[in-house]
Amino acid sequence: MTLFVFLAALTGLMLLGMPIAFALMLSGVGLMIHLDFFDAQLLAQNMLSGADNFPLMAVPFFILAGELMNAGGISQRIITLAVSLVGHIRGGLGYVAIGAAVLLASLSGSAIADTAALATLLIPMMRDNGYPVPRSAGLIASGGIIAPIIPPSMPFIIYGVTTNTSISALFMAGIVPGLLMGLGLVFTWMLMARNMDVVPQRRRSGAERRAALVDGLWALALPVLIIGGLRGGIFTPTEAAVVAAVYSLFVSLFIYRQVKVSELMPLFVNAARTTSVVMFLVAAAMVSSYMITLADLPDQVIELLTPILDNRILLMLGIVVLLLAAGIVLDLTPTILILGPVLAPLAAKAGIDPVYFGVIFIMTGCIGLLTPPICTVLNVVCGVAKISMESATKGVWPFLLTYSVLLLLLVVMPEIVTVPAKFFH
């Protein structure tokens, strides 16, 4: 009955069009009233403790780093380097999009920021060279969702805080799956590019490639700095976010000089606005999370799924299907905040490695960023490319199929995630 009250309150409020943050908070209040436990002071304390969490300090700094990378020319130089290396081969701009997506993923950790940067720079170029715009949009959107998997990753930070999972371990565990996502896109695009009648980019000379490499070295150094610092224990994920922001500020102001001091304030304001949305979501979710724990909802879910707890593969497939369904109607952050506290204890009860489960959780949630009607990443690409959601959906489905196959492979063979994670960590 308690589980039904929570789900009915949350679903009903969302169907009424209430913002997710308020729906989460009021669902927690609904549980309080149902359990005859309402206390306004407790409500305020939980919201405060939800935001007052040191690891969450990484969120505003990674958001700021993303703003600075896009405005300061760091993202543009990554794409220019990729064009100089593979732009001349058949379907080359598609490979440029994939390579740039993987590199940008290791810089900002934000799917929306990376997708916006890629789409703004590459969609016009691909359109002018005869690439089908829906397919190009689908590829760029699919590349954009690699960002939350390869470290640094804001969703991993939020998941780690919500479920009390090691953020450093999640970061290291995301490297191989993120690279596999990139390889999957390469294979899919290779099959599609054979039938495309497109104009290839001219082959860059050795001197031009060296110049692009030298110009992009400052951009390429950032992922090495972050991952190396995390791997070497020099700084924590939270400190890594500060390093990324300061480094991006320095390069943008003094190396590439594409940002002036007078232009910093709008960038800070944009980062603050985005941060306020995320932090309010986390604070409101703490209310429902506290009540979920108090009402013993995880144990109720475990009791419902007891018949399949001993079958790890069947349980993981069921969770993946649930997360895919949630991704249709929820953005990634609300999915983490709502389902993380419920499903993580279930996975632990079944003996599933918590870091591996976190990677699968975020990967599956990221696919929801491409599935209508919410599909925030696909919406970004539609806006930049000026195409309809229907066209973008037709363009993205081959890549969704690729990701689904990869997800199934990781469910059947968890060693692909767990073994490299132990090596990197």
3-state SS record for 91-141: CHHHHHHHHHHHHHHCCCCCHHHHHHHHHHHHHHHHHHCCCCHHHHHHHHH
Cα–Cα distance between 379 and 382 in angstroms, integer? 5
Residues of the chain with pLDDT under 70: 1, 3, 423-425
Cα–Cα distance between 332 and 18 in angstroms, integer? 17
**Residue 352: what pLDDT?**
92
How many Cα atoms within 13 Å fall on the side-chain side of residue 49? 12
**Residue 3: what pLDDT?**
67
Q: What tokens does 26 get?
A: 């009021």
Q: What tokens does 108 get?
A: 């900002």
CB neighbours of 164 closer than 8 A, spacing ≥ 6? none
Nearest to 179 by CA among 276, 103, 65, 257: 103
Cis peptide before 373 (omega within 30 of 0): yes
DSSP 152: S
DSSP 253: I
**Residue 376: what pLDDT?**
84
Tens digits of per-residue pLDDT, 17-54?
Answer: 788 788 888 888 887 888 777 777 777 888 887 777 77
Cα–Cα distance between 243 and 226 in angstroms, integer? 8
